[in-house]
Amino acid sequence: MTSRGKFITLEGIEGVGKSTHCAFLRDRLLESGLTVVTTREPGGTRLGEAVRGILLDPSLPAMTPLTELLLMFAARAEHLATVIEPALTRGEWVLCDRFTDATYAYQGGGRALDMAAIAQLEGLVQQGLRPDYTLLFDAPVPIALARAKSRSASDRFEAEVSEFFVKVQAVYRERAAREPLRFVSIDAAQTLPEVEDALRGWVRKLAL
């Protein structure tokens, strides 16, 4: 019988390098002989990418924080049912650029929504599924925002002020401190080769 794959999520405020590091990590896992699926949230399915378009489009009218929360979980329900669960069942490893920790950090921390309401939706949508490992890329807000801004025009979240990202980061750090077995915190203010060394070290520890 094929053993179930592992579910790895990458988290952090914008500009910490998640997309860059996701590609690097995928290549290291492929070298170890694993089959790897890379995906992202919000998104990862045709419907989810359409929802992502709505969530990020700065030209649309403002939405309420609750609307934003429900759209995140609607996209996630589709993503879990059609991409993540099937891949894990086939024994593949799933690398996901953001997942529910982002909801706690952005909608709970940034938008001040009730954490208990987020936990209820998490239970309903995920039915007990949690990431096996979460890599939290952590860098001071000004460094991360400067990197993100050097790269592209602002979407609806990126237009937020730095205090918003300080609140988001605080929730990420609290969650990492509470679940040290799942979270791996990586200093993303380091140079790219240094971050890559940290990722290589983590993959070695997995002893694949």
**What are the residues binding ligand Z5A (CB under 6 A)?**
12, 14-20, 41-42, 72, 97-98, 102-103, 106-107, 147-148, 151, 157-158, 188, 190-192, 195
Task: Please check whether residue 13 is in contact with residue 106, taking contact to mean a CB–CB distance below 8 angstroms.
Answer: no
Q: How far is the CB of 75 from ligand Z5A (least distance, A)?
A: 8
Q: How far is the CB of 158 from ligand Z5A (least distance, A)?
A: 5
Q: How far is the CB of 167 from ligand Z5A (least distance, A)?
A: 12
Q: Which contacts qualify for 80-89: CB closer than 8 Å, 24 or more apart?
A: 80/125, 80/126, 80/129, 82/45, 83/37, 83/39, 83/44, 83/45, 84/7, 84/39, 84/44, 84/129, 85/129, 87/5, 87/37, 88/4, 88/5, 88/6, 88/7, 89/4, 89/5
Query: Residue 129: which of 83, 189, 70 has the closest Cα?
Result: 83
Q: How far is the CB of 54 from ligand Z5A (least distance, A)?
A: 12
